[in-house]
Structure 1
Amino acid sequence: MPAPLLRRIIILLAIAAPAIVFRITGFAPNPVLDLVVFGAAVVAASFMLAWAAESAQKDISGALAIAILALIAVLPEYAVDLYYAFRSGSDPAYEQFAAANMTGSNRLLLGFGWPLIVLVALYVARRLAKARGEKGKQLPRMLQLPGSSRLDIGVLAIVAVLAFVIPIMGQIAMWVGISLILIFVAYLWRASWVPDEGEEEFVGMAAHIAAMPQTRRRITFVGMFVVSAAIILTAAEPFATSLVDSGGALGIDSYFLVQWLAPLASEAPEFIIAVLFALRGMGAAAIGTLIASKINQWTLLVGSLPVAHFFGGGGTDLALDPRQVEEFVLTASQTLMGVAIIIALRFHRWSAVALAGLFAVQFFVTDATGRYVLSGVHIVIAVALLVVHRRAILPAISAPFRPSVPEPVEREEARV
């Protein structure tokens, strides 16, 4: 194993070690310390998981690799969210937290992650353009997505519309959950048929793993999967519990901590890896990973919540209180707007700024009426953009149902 990789793994294991000791001994001095210890373990395991998942693309080609990477990268979020859903089956007090982590992570991914990647990618592209002597209108102002992205955009568009069924019903019904899981399975199957559009490039620690001989590489990333998954499973329950308990201890709304602090911990490695891709001029690959993450959050994760609730002793449907209904409407409307922005395979700089701005507004609009108005703004913007890009709607919506045809590889993803 390369020395830099070995050093990083040792550091991550050292960060996770206190959580393992706490869990084995049952030592729990106070909720805030528990939150720090178990949260640090989740972050450490997330980095290890992300490196392993990225390097695994060396042995799994095409859009399927992106889909699997996105799935594995959000395993920490699954562990926390499914724990709340499972616990809500026997303790109704936990019902309010069942989907909180998902809605927070979903909006963070689109409202912060997407704009960050686009702005970084455009910054890098503009620097390269200036180095070539280009200026003025020649400087890149948008991120161009590859044709293969239509599959993900089409699936996300379908799921974004179906997502509104949940707040309308006021619950995540078992039949809705199973339908979403089946959509995810179909998406993975369909992604496996998308042809490659070029050789995969790796950055950071994943590059060290990918450079290993095949047998050593596979043993290494499988071992990292197992270790990081074990740490996540060990830390998920106490981390989730300490989030709720810390709210009371610190006088902070527990729902707020569950919705935003947990996603920050679980999404940080994915954001960092995506930024590294963007810094290397691979903006389309970076945004593709985040789009795939949105799909598995809206399908497999949401679909699994009523299943976990049922096995936790609850009924077949997971009820949503008024606050969660409001959160689902806001999250679904933001997703619809995100789809409308990228449906023409172009992500403009101004769109990234607008997305980030509307994401920030929600923290200042805290009442139900204001948030429904913000959801309406998302939908109005989405409709306006879909009218402008109306010719791109059919190709995107039909992409999940038709054979894929290889398209020319574009090395410069950010263009005028």
Structure 2
Amino acid sequence: MRSVRERLAAVVAHAPAATAASPASAAWTFPLMIFAAFVVAWGAEAAEFLMSQGLALAALALIQTLPEFAVEAVIAWKAGKDPGMVHLAIANFTGSLRLLTGLGWPMIYAVAAFYSHRRHGRKLGEIQLHDEHAVEVLGLLPPLAWFVVVWAKSSLSLWDAAFLTLTYVVYLWVLLKLPSREEPLEEEEEIPRVSRWALSHRGWRKWAAVGGLLAAGGAIIYFVAEPFLASMMALAATFGISQFVFIQWVAPFLSEFPEKTSAFAWARRVTRAPVALMNMVSSNINQWGVLSALLAVIYSWSRGEPSSLPFDQFQRLEILLTILQAFLGWIFLASMTLQAYEATGLFVLWLVQFAVPSLRGEMLWLYGAWIVVELFLVALGKKRIPAFACFRRVWAQRKTGLRTSP
């Protein structure tokens, strides 16, 4: 990934080397990225029969976001050398998270709703999560709550990084304790052929086939990420996209491209839309936890001493906006559904801040007001939050054997 670091550094520094890559290389990097996304998705779907679905999705999310981690590491390293670059590190981090929640979640609903109507002639009122998905929903809360502390003290320290990493380790430990799915029946057409092929083996060969799919897809993502991002950077330069917009929106969108591809492929099958949504939520969790910790570690490493990444007023505004958006999304998912009006609301609020950045302050009030309304409905008993009860039920049943939910 060395050359992608150099090219991204050139973009950040306004160097001409950023345009050295040819936009034409997108003709082969783009299809390869799509192929890699499908390979890791097939591997993850097969892995559900060897481990819990949540653990498979967590591994998948980490593989899929390798390019995003590489991009963020580059910017954090440069921020350690040049304090003027700190705002770009925060821009990339917050932009990535807001894209996942404000664009990714609603698009999953939109894709599932479209194919539900097209294939079954039914209107999709909501995406209904399964009990086991309460682990992902509740796993989003600890790092999100801790980031309120990070925002309040206007810095991200190594102590914060340690705690955020711990929340992710605990999340993985919980997932590790959950059972896998039952073996698929031959007549189950929902299981892709490649996943079924991997599961047709016995013993260690089955693990090797599933691991091979994940490893192969991850390797393609790793090696193609550099020319893919470089070609997209060249395209961005060709269209005159500004530095801040590129770092906050374009770079995260491109680096998360494998994840969006596999999630939308699942959403097309409608019945797998909850899995697609949890794929995105798993990425939210690893970015709030591991990616933010990486920021603090790389920043300190670059400076050659333990250091806290400081936030100015504008960066605090960006972080608070991201926290409020995430908490609103969490309240929606805590009901174990994502309804049409909720997905639409998340998308519209994201679109407004993307199209009119000067309205960030107003967006804070809108997110805050909606959160208050949702909490008021919960207090009145008009809205239920069954995620905690679902988690207790799943945790109590973890020793009973294999799960059967899709």
How high is the TM-score relative to the length of structure 2?
Answer: 0.79
* Correspondence for 1:262: 251
1:405 has 2:397 as partner: yes
Residue 197 of structure 1: CA displacement?
Answer: 5.0
Query: Which of 360, 373, 378 is the matching residue for 2:362?
Result: 373
1:81 has 2:72 as partner: yes
Residue 350 of structure 1: CA displacement?
Answer: 1.2
The within-5 A match list for 1:88-107 is 88-107=79-98
* Correspondence for 1:300: 290
Is the 1:181–1:303 contact (alpha carbons within 8 Å) kept by the matching residues of 2? yes
* Correspondence for 1:277: 266
1:353 has 2:344 as partner: yes
Residue 159 of structure 1: CA displacement?
Answer: 2.4
AA aligned to 1:185 is V
1:144 has 2:128 as partner: yes
1:61 has 2:51 as partner: yes
More divergent stretch after superposition (207-216 vs 155-164): 207-216
1:387 has 2:376 as partner: yes
AA aligned to 2:287 is Q
1:396 has 2:388 as partner: yes
Is the 2:139–2:285 contact (alpha carbons within 8 Å) kept by the matching residues of 1? yes
1:31 has 2:23 as partner: no
Mark the runs of 5 or more structure 2 residues left unpaired by the alignment.
Answer: 185-189
Query: Which of 216, 222, 226 is the matching residue for 1:229?
Result: 222
What is the RMSD of the two structures over their aligned residues, measured on CA atoms? 3.8
Matches of 2:393 and 2:62 in 1, distance apart? 22
1:192 has 2:176 as partner: yes
Over residues 333-392 of structure 1, what are the superposed CA-to-partner deviations in whole Å (9 max), with x where a residue is unaligned?
10001011111111111111111111111024423xx31331221122123223334574
SS in 2 for 1:362: helix
Matches of 1:192 and 1:410 in 2, distance apart? 17
How high is the TM-score relative to the length of structure 1?
Answer: 0.77
Over residues 70-128 of structure 1, what are the superposed CA-to-partner deviations in whole Å (9 max), with x where a residue is unaligned?
11111110000011112221222322211222211111111111111112223333445
Identity %: 25
The within-5 A match list for 1:169-180 is 169-180=153-164
Is the 1:89–1:313 contact (alpha carbons within 8 Å) kept by the matching residues of 2? yes
Residue 328 of structure 1: CA displacement?
Answer: 0.8
Aligned residues: 377
Is the 1:121–1:279 contact (alpha carbons within 8 Å) kept by the matching residues of 2? yes
AA aligned to 1:305 is L
Is the 2:40–2:60 contact (alpha carbons within 8 Å) kept by the matching residues of 1? yes
Matches of 2:322 and 2:28 in 1, distance apart? 28
Matches of 2:252 and 2:267 in 1, distance apart? 21
Is the 1:42–1:231 contact (alpha carbons within 8 Å) kept by the matching residues of 2? yes
Residue 228 of structure 1: CA displacement?
Answer: 3.4
Over residues 177-224 of structure 1, what are the superposed CA-to-partner deviations in whole Å (9 max), with x where a residue is unaligned?
111111111111111112335568555976777778634554454344
